[in-house]
Amino acid sequence: MIRPSIAAFALLLGTPLLAQQAPPTLPPSQAAPADEGLSGSVSDESDWQDLGIAIPAFATNADVPTATSAGSTGALGTALAQVITANLRNNGLFKPVGPDSLPRPAFDQIRAPAFETWSGRSAEMLVQGFVRPGDGDQLLVGCYLYDVALKQQLASAAWQVAPGDWRRAAHKCSDMVYARLSGESPFFDSRIAYIAETGPKDRRMKRLAIMDSDGANHRYLTTGQTIALTPRYSPDYKSILYLSYFNGQPRIYIYDLERNSQRLLLQSQNPLFAPRWSPDGKWVLYSMAIAGNTDIYKMPASGGAAVRLTDTPGIDIGGSFSPDGSRIVFESDRSGSQQIYVMNADGSAQKRISFIGGRAATPEWSPRGDQIAFTHITGNFRIGVMDPAGQGMRYLTDSWQDEAPTWAPNGRIIQFFRTARGSGKASLWQVDLTGRNERRLVTPVDGSDPAWGPLRP
């Protein structure tokens, strides 16, 4: 098994950014560069004054073969810029123009851009970079962000990556640009676990699968012989917690991604549901039904005795920890229908926070701690958010059946799955906190139960 590593260097060659700490204001972009065509649906692009960003192919000092899937360093330079362009598109902030319609800068222009060329193309920002061989078969990728009008470098970084990790360099570069220009935390260098679905509606085959945040490096982990449901990446990305049936009984498994094996975490005569990690990865929350009554329990992730956290009659299920691990948001129908409750991590001080018509389900605490995303059911299912006190509730989506939100690592984007009426076919979608920018994340087959992992270290 390869243990790839990424080394990030401060670029000694780059000019460190001192001034310009505040993100630049977004000027109106008249004569925006020609767009290459959106891959998703942007519901309300016209309201936004997107920042035009030119992302030409990364330069190289010599076009030499690499061990990557992208080909030579020259081809890799184009592929890196394409990945960055796709990342920055469709999030309501930027209007990126990629390498396919831009001239490729020379290697010595990377640190000294031809600003006139780019201002002539109405680019407000410029992302340039280089790729060249590093130690062994590794690759060195540099990434620079320039303000074209100010003719000033805003940020730079470089990473040495194993060949199989070349896309991570593009995600790191995207994160640098996104964080510098938006003032938000990065999120592109992250992964998603979900359930890949195939087959007829009455016998869907459900397989555990993982992929990068942009859908690349997709991989199936289970064969689909048994139903797999509700995966969650561990905070260190080493394993995935999920539910699988065994002889007709749902049990909780942990899939070890380093060993490519799975182990049974918990089995019981009683059905088990809704496994979740604590933010430090030391605890697992789950629900267990005894004689039709479902409660939430907590146990050490390494195994051991469980503690019961809820004891009211009804279905208590679907816990999600606050980022500091001190509280848990969960759903309960103890009042008659599904509503959202918060309790301390030891089960004390249980308090209902949602008081809305219909049913409120699948709460997920934002990694920033400021919002809780959930599924609101009034016939149709919509994704909504509210603060941890249950205030400021608002909808982000409006469709027939949108379910099970999961947060991007920066707490600004929510992923969920959308089920089509009739066919029951499910697909993965993303929406930002404004609700304006919605896009589908394309998967090889249908997808449901997405779980977004944290930013990779």
Residues 349-408 that bind other proteins (CB under 8 A): 361-362, 375, 377, 379, 381, 401, 403-404
Instruction: Decide whether 93 or 162 has the Cβ nearer to other proteins.
Output: 162
Residues 34 and 39: their CA atoms lie apart, in Å, by 15
**Near other proteins by CB under 8 A: residue from 104, 111, 218, 425:** 218
Q: Which three-class secondary structure state does DSSP give residue 110?
A: coil
Assign residue 160 a region (left: φ > 0; alpha: ψ between -120 and 50; beta: otherwise): beta
Name the residue with tokens 């308090």: 351
Please provide the DSSP assignment of 282-318 as one string.
SEEEEEEEETTEEEEEEEETT----EE---SSSBEEE
Q: Distance from CA of residue 350 to its chain's centroid?
A: 30
For the bound state, the minimum distance from the C-beta of residue 33 to other proteins, rounded and expressed in Å, comes to: 28
Of the candidate residues 118, 178, 242, 255, the single one contacting other proteins (CB under 8 A): 255
- Shortest distance (Å) from residue 218 CB to other proteins: 5
x/- track of binding to other proteins for residues 57-76 (CB under 8 A): -----------xx-------
From 28-36, 88-96, 110-118, 194-202, span contacting other proteins (CB under 8 A): 194-202
- Binding span for other proteins by CB under 8 A among 23-31, 119-127, 267-275, 383-391: 267-275
Nearer to other proteins, 30 or 261 (CB): 261
Residue placing its CB nearer to other proteins in the complex, 294 or 415: 294
- Nearest to other proteins of 314, 436 (CB atom): 314
Q: Of 175 and 432, which has the nearer Cβ to other proteins?
A: 175
CB of 112 to other proteins, least distance (A): 17
- Out of 149, 266, 289, 356, the only residue in the binding site for other proteins (CB under 8 A) is 289
Beta strands in 148-216 (DSSP E): 152-161, 191-198, 205-212
By CB under 8 A, residue 191 contacts other proteins: yes
| In the complex, minimum distance from the CB of residue 223 to other proteins, in angstroms, rounded to a whole number | 6
Q: How far is the CB of 260 from other proteins (least distance, A)?
A: 6
The full DSSP string for 328-377 is EEEEE-TTSS-EEEEEETTS-S-EE----SSEEEEEEE-TTSS-EEEEEE
125 and 54 in contact (C-beta within 8 Å)?
A: yes
The CB-of-160 to other proteins minimum distance in angstroms stands at 9
Nearer to other proteins, 311 or 324 (CB): 311
229 binds other proteins (CB under 8 A): yes
Q: Which one among 246, 303, 311, 346 touches other proteins, defined by CB under 8 A?
A: 246
* Whole-Å CA distances, 305 to 252, 300, 328, 360: 15, 7, 19, 31
Q: Is 236 left (phi over 0), alpha (psi -120 to 50) or beta?
A: alpha
Distance of alpha carbon 240 from alpha carbon 171, whole angstroms: 22
DSSP SS3 for 23? coil
Three-state secondary structure call for residue 402: strand
Spacing of C-alpha 335 from chain mean position: 33
- Residue 415 binding other proteins, by CB under 8 A: no
* Span 11-50, contacts to other proteins by CB under 8 A: 11, 14, 16-17
Residues 94-113 that bind other proteins (CB under 8 A): none
Q: Which of residues 137-156 bind other proteins (CB under 8 A)?
A: 155-156
Gap between the Cα atoms of 23 and 12, Å rounded: 23
Any idea which residue has 């990945």 for tokens? 83
Distance of closest approach, residue 229 Cβ to other proteins, in angstroms:
7
Residue 28 or 336 having the CB closest to other proteins: 336
The least distance separating other proteins from the CB of residue 157, rounded to whole angstroms, comes to 7
From 77, 231, 250, 367, residue interacting with other proteins (rule: CB under 8 A)? 250
163 lines the binding site for other proteins (CB under 8 A): yes
Should residue 171 be labelled a site residue for other proteins when binding is judged by CB under 8 A?
no
Nearer to other proteins, 40 or 224 (CB): 224
> Of 124 and 212, which CB lies nearer to other proteins in the complex structure?
212
User: Would you state the structure tokens that stand for residue 231, as one six-digit string?
Assistant: 């995966």
**Residue 285: which of 293, 271, 273, 267 has the closest Cα?**
273
Give the number of residues in contact with other proteins, rule: CB under 8 A. Answer: 98
Q: Which stretch binds other proteins (CB under 8 A): 54-62, 84-92, 300-308, 313-321?
A: 313-321
> Which amino acid is it at 141?
V
- Dihedrals phi, psi of 63, to nearest 5 degrees: -80, 95
Distance CA 237, CA 192 (A): 10
| Distance between CA atoms of residues 197 and 200, nearest Å | 10
